[in-house]
Structure formats: C-alpha cells, structure tokens
A and B are shown apart, each in its own frame.
Chain A
Amino acid sequence: MGARPSFDSELETLNIELIRMAGLAEQAIRNSIAALTNRDKAMAVNVAEHDREIDEMEKTIETRCLKLLLRQQPVARDLRQISTALKMITDIERIGDQAADIAEILMNLKNDEPAKIARHIPEMARVASEMVYDSVTAFTNNDLEAAKAVIARDDVVDDLFCKVRSDLVELIGTTPNKIDEAIDVMMIAKYLERIGDHAVNICEWVEFYETGEYKNTKLL
C-alpha cells in the first residue's frame, strides 16, 4: 500500500468512471447501428435519450478531475493521468453526440431504403465502437501498445468510409431517385469515420500519459 491510499482510491474511481463513460459511448454506437439494420426507430429514440447520460458523466468526471487538481496538487504520473482524463472525456462526449446524430437521422427516415444500401456501415460501426472502448481501456491499463494498435486500426475505418462513398456514388449514378437515402447513409458513414478519429485522439492522449509526449511533441 502506498502512502496516499485515499488519493489512489480516487484515481481508481476516476478510471472506473472513464470506463463506464466509454462503455456508454460504445453502446450508443452499437445501438444506433442496430436501429439502422433492424429498422428499429424506438431504439434510435433510446440512443438519442441516452446521450444525456454521457453528457452527465462528462460533467461528473470533469468535476472529479478539477477537485483532484485542487486538493491533491498532483505531479508526474498523477498529473498526466488527470490531465489526460480531462482531455479524453471531451472526445468521448463528442462520440456520444455523433452516435446520437446517427440516431436522429434514423428517427427521420421515410423508408427502409438506407438499411439496404448501407452495406459497409455495420462493419464500420463495429470497428469504430471497438476502437472507442479499446482506447479507454488502453488508458486504464497503462497500455501504450494497445493505444498504438487503436491508432493503426483507424485505417480500417477510413477504408470502409471510402468504400461506402464509392458505393453511394455508383448508386446515385444508376438510381438518381435514391439520392436522399444516399445522403443519409453518407452522413452516417461520416459520423462513424469521425468517431474513429476521436478514438485516435484519445489514444494520442494515452501516449502523452505514458511518455509525456503528445503527437511527438513534449508538452512539459
């Protein structure tokens, strides 16, 4: 046992909250895509409503971090851990927003057409949601290699995004009357692609936490 058990236990709670927040964001992505593939508008509504929980968690974690800075005056690894957490939650909150944005598109669908033409979307969502969860567990497990692996996996999401785009360009060329649906799917793909980018951002902060360097620049 270290000499600061109460501080250690606060830091542990911070990690648990981060994992819970990441879990909510990951679930929001999965549910929004399930809403698409299962043509389930109720689930889409549910995703949009649950976004508030993620926003609340952001505030809770923010408050915890600021109190720890105030009361514990952390240095070294503790300082890096708390400042990384503060940066990460902004990205997780944005991820939640984007899952909610996807759900919102689905709530306003006029027909089932997008589900039929969204060939690569479920795979994109699967990879992106795993990236989100893995990025946060890389942080809580102090696992730099896992963070780097998540960053590398963003190429998979980007490739799928390109495939979705080419499919839609082709579709619009052959069936111009499906342009509305194509735009909806394009938006969904773009949101998923952005979610991948947010997971990368989180991992870049994990690199800072482990090495003191952010995007190869020493911050301190």
Chain B
Amino acid sequence: MSSISVKNLELYYGDNHALKSVSIEIEENKITALIGPSGCGKSTFLKTLNRMNDLVDGVKITGEVLIDGENLYDKRVDVTLLRKKIGMVFQKPNPFPMSIYDNVAYGPRIHGIKSKRQLDEIVKNSLIGAALYDEVKDRLHKSALSLSGGQQQRLCIARAMAVEPQVILMDEPTSALDPISTMKIEELMLTLKEKYTIVIVTHNMQQAARISDYTAFFLVGEMVEFGETEAIFSLPKDKRTEDYITGRFG
C-alpha cells in the first residue's frame, strides 16, 4: 500500500495542454474516483500515475508524482519495477490469449519466479483475492478467453494483484460489463482497498458515489475540486462540479 502525492503536474500533448497544474494527495487504502466529461484529462491523469503517457509522441510532463516520497518521474526510476508496484486494469478486459493460470502467473514469471509451488500459490491467492477462484478452480488451464466479460475483468484484476502491487489503477473497469458483473467488481474493490490504494476513472457517477472514499472532478485539464466523496456529492463547493454531477452541465 502506498500514498501518492502529486504536485503541480503539467502535461502537454504537443501544443495541447492536457493537464494543468494538478496537485492531489491520494490516500493509501482508499478508493479515489476521477470523474469528469470526456476529454477532461482524467484518464490522462490516471496514466501519469504509472508513466503510461511516456510512450506517447510529443508528450511533455513536468511536476512531481511522489509515491512513498519517491518521484516517479525521476530519471533513475526503473519503469518495469514501477509498473510492478502500480498495477493497471483497463476498460475492456484484456486477458492474454493463454490459460487462466498463465495469465496470472505471467507477471510473477517475468519478475523471476520459477518455482511451480510458488506460482501455484500466487495464482490461487490472486484468484481468491479477485473473487474468481471458486468459479475457475476446475479449469485453470483452460483459455482465459472462454471466460465471461465480468470473469475476464476479475482475471485482469487477479493478474494485476499477482505481482503484489501497492497501487491499482482502474480505467473505467466496469463500463463494458453487465450490472451483475459490475456489482461484483465494485464489491471486490471495497475488499481490495484494505490491501491496496485504488484510483479509478469512471463515467458512472453512481459508481463513484457508491464505492469511492474521495472524488476528484476534472474539467478541461484542470482538477476543479477534490474532496471526500460524500461531500462532493452532497455539497460540492464549485458550481462547475455541481453542474456536472447534477447533470446540468453544458
């Protein structure tokens, strides 16, 4: 688990000023939701938390993202190790075209774990942690692609957990799922936050209200308001936040 401290983060895609001096303290063992209209910068911001924007052509990032006091953008940071520390789950479930077992074991193997006994244990514990084990324990060596969308997404969460990250980033993790699968993932997130710090981008405001402890509202690259979720959804301070969450935006 880890807290994240972001200070004056600026991000440009070429001339496009996509993040404007964002500063935020993300608490450990809490769920922080990032909300805002499409193109507001919330997903871009999420990606800066594990340096996924580095690969974008013409990107320029200034400011600091401190995880346990260490700046993510320091030149000495090993990005592979960083991504071990900070897992990510995407909008569309993206299991690798291999068995359920191998999906979960993939990360640990990359990081040098070879013992079958050890891998078995990691796979089992990760699947239990992602509330998927009971549903797949008899077919661990079947293709992950045979799972339902909701199961695939939980597999991706298990895969992220297998390398024992401290932070899990989720980019609209339930937007492609049916309501039951969505509820399962939401329930799962509530148990995961005991071990991990979770940051989630969501377009579903009820979801943010249901599961997050803190909410940040983004608008055209600016973080307009950040606070406890109940405060944001009951008495937002900024009129733009109020207009957005009450659907009076635009």
User: Which of B24-32, B134-142, B241-249 forms part of the interface with chain A?
Assistant: B241-249
Q: List 13 A-B contacts (CB under 8 A).
A: A2-B243, A4-B248, A74-B246, A75-B205, A75-B234, A75-B246, A76-B233, A76-B236, A76-B242, A79-B233, A79-B234, A80-B235, A220-B231
Does the CB pair B248–A80 fall under 8 Å?
Answer: no
The 4 closest A-B pairs by CB, nearest first: A220-B234, A212-B235, A2-B248, A75-B233
- Kindly state whether residue B230 has any CB partner on chain A within 8 Å: yes
Footprint of A on B, CB under 8 Å?
Answer: 205-206, 209, 230-231, 233-236, 242-243, 245-250
Return the chain B residue nearest A73 by Cβ.
B206
Chain A residues, CB < 8 A from B249: 3
Minimum CB–CB distance for B240 against chain A, Å = 12
For the complex, what is the distance from the CA of A75 to the CA of B233, rounded to whole Å? 6
Chain B residues, CB < 8 A from A74: 246
A residues 88-107 in Cβ contact with B at 8 Å: none
**Assuming the A-B contacts A3-B248, A3-B249, A212-B235, are A77 and B230 also in contact, with contact meaning beta carbons closer than 8 angstroms in the complex?**
no
- Kindly state whether residue A78 has any CB partner on chain B within 8 Å: yes
Minimum CB–CB distance for B239 against chain A, Å = 10
Return the chain A residue nearest B209 by Cβ.
A75
Return the chain B residue nearest A8 by Cβ.
B248
Does the CB pair A76–B235 fall under 8 Å?
Answer: yes
Greatest chain B CB density within 10 A among A79, A80, A211 is at A79
Chain A residues, CB < 8 A from B245: 75-76
Greatest chain A CB density within 10 A among B236, B246, B250 is at B246
Chain A residues, CB < 8 A from B205: 75
Greatest chain A CB density within 10 A among B209, B230, B236, B247 is at B247
Does the CB pair B234–A212 fall under 8 Å?
Answer: yes
Minimum CB–CB distance for A219 against chain B, Å = 8
A residues 54-94 in Cβ contact with B at 8 Å: 73-80
Does the CB pair A78–B246 fall under 8 Å?
Answer: yes
Return the chain B residue nearest A78 by Cβ.
B246
Greatest chain B CB density within 10 A among A3, A4, A73, A80 is at A3
Contacts A76-B234, A80-B234 supplied; 15 other A-B pairs, CB < 8 Å: A3-B248, A3-B250, A7-B247, A73-B206, A75-B209, A76-B235, A76-B236, A76-B246, A77-B242, A78-B246, A79-B233, A79-B234, A212-B234, A212-B235, A220-B235
For the complex, what is the distance from the CA of A125 to the CA of B81, rounded to whole Å? 76
Chain B residues, CB < 8 A from A4: 246-248
Return the chain A residue nearest B234 by Cβ.
A220
Chain B residues, CB < 8 A from A2: 243, 247-248
For the complex, what is the distance from the CA of A211 to the CA of B205, rounded to whole Å? 22
For the complex, what is the distance from the CA of A72 to the CA of B40, rounded to whole Å? 24
Chain A residues, CB < 8 A from B250: 3
For the complex, what is the distance from the CA of A73 to the CA of B208, rounded to whole Å? 13
A residues 1-49 in Cβ contact with B at 8 Å: 2-4, 7
